[in-house]
Homo-oligomer: A and B are copies of this chain.
Amino acid sequence: MHEQQLTSHQHHVVIIGGGFGGLHAALALRNAPVQITLIDRRNFHLFQPLLYQVATGALSPANIAAPLRAILHRQKNARVLLGEVARINVTERAVQLADGERIAYDTLIVAAGVRHHYFGNDHWEAYAPGLKSIEDATEIRRRVLLAFEAAERETDPEKIDRLLTFVVIGAGPTGVELAGALAEIAHFTLRGNFRHINPADAKVYLLEGGDRVLPSYVPSLSEKAKEALTKLGVYVKTGAMVSDITAEGVTYTMDGETHTISASTVLWAAGVRGSELGAQLAEATHATLDRVGRIMTEPDLTLPAHPEIFVIGDMAHYAHQTGKPLPGVAPVAMQQAAYVAALIKRRLWGNTSAPKPFRYTDKGSMATIGRAAAVADIRGIHLWGFVGWVLWLFIHLMTLVRFQNRVLVLIQWAWSYFTRNRAARLITGTTAQPHLTPKATKEISQA
């Protein structure tokens, strides 16, 4: 449509996805003699590691999101296109958008991320939303806050108990952080806010199929994290395999026994899988998909026989370094973006020799548990508690994309830290109120 406006002789790099991988690839190509088109369904870059803070009312969506156009507005070789990619036509080297527009590329970088995965139980999604988008976060915030509101108005003790029971499934970083934040809300944030219930009566369960929380961390930090969670009042169940989720609660098997938790709010942090686009791309290029739909890439992050197509970030299964796929975290995506940008520039300079394979440098991993506790593994140095938390805070603040976000998030955190308050406790949106609707609908239809 607008291709005539691209300088015809310039190399056109099309990037699908404005997350950590896609955005940083665009930024890393700022001085390269290329035209860049960054395509995303959303108009903003989302700082996903802090999404659970929105879900638990501590931060606002705008604190952890920055408009892509604003980030790239001075980078004259980049344009942003708000659109949904329907298909990649690898033969014609073109991306097909859902609205019919066709974008030709010379080089394609696919960084379209992952979505929730319920292991073949897609009907669980209605009862146990996952946390990938701003809308997911405000929906979770809504469910959690409405559960307390409904409990306040309920008289049946059994129902109150069910309304005040929260289950988080999956004890990776997101699950651990969500469970910790929920426990804080119940024990501190909402203290004194209700007249009939005591929010501290709320129970938070964290269910993990593996044998410890934070399975990708070293065992000693898993242990510290479990201690911190237990201290906050979270019931941690490891080796717990979920067998069913309904409107009533969660059923799981542990040590050969079946247990049921009666709970009105269940949150899913257990599994993700590659996007549909990945499946289509793999089929078109004869690339291999792994068990969860990620694309196996070559050592230089290209696809077999398609040196012009790169796959990076959560969508990529890169096992050339350790034999295991790299974890789906921001630093991997960002380092892959830098590698790919350097490789593209190298090619444009005419260097056609085989590049060194991509190598991920693990600068450490961290997870936070509640107000002032975190576990961190920084190149083998293990930190926990307050020290771990300060480090976590510092690193997250420094990597937030824009200055204003950093200042505002710092103030919100300082405020939350000293007051244990969460200002963004707003129930918004017009979707059904899961706990309040049935009664209300009945009455209105009687009126």
Chain A residues with CB under 8 Å of chain B are 1-2, 5, 42-44, 60-63, 65-67, 69-70, 73-74, 79-84, 86-87, 97-101, 134-135, 138, 145-146, 149, 152-153, 155, 190-196, 402, 404-405, 407-408, 411-412, 415, 419, 421, 423-430, 436, 439-440, 442-444, 447
Q: A79-B195, A423-B405, A439-B99 are in contact. Are A430 and B135 (CB under 8 A)?
A: yes
Apart from A2-B196, A135-B429: 7 A-B pairs, beta carbons within 8 A:
A62-B426, A67-B426, A70-B193, A73-B192, A79-B195, A138-B428, A404-B415
**Docked-complex contact A98 and B135, CB < 8 angstroms:** no
**Docked-complex contact B100 and A423, CB < 8 angstroms:** no
Residues in B with CB closer than 8 Å to A402 are 423
Residues in B with CB closer than 8 Å to A430 are 135
Q: Which 7 A-B residue pairings sit nearest by Cβ, starting from the closest?
A: A62-B424, A60-B60, A69-B193, A99-B439, A79-B195, A73-B192, A60-B62
Closest to A68 in B: B193
Residues in B with CB closer than 8 Å to A404 are 411-412, 415, 419, 421, 423
Alpha-carbon distance between A423 and B440 when the two chains are bound, in angstroms: 37
**Docked-complex contact B425 and A67, CB < 8 angstroms:** yes
**Docked-complex contact B65 and A426, CB < 8 angstroms:** yes
Alpha-carbon distance between A190 and B72 when the two chains are bound, in angstroms: 12
Alpha-carbon distance between A2 and B401 when the two chains are bound, in angstroms: 49
Alpha-carbon distance between A42 and B42 when the two chains are bound, in angstroms: 28
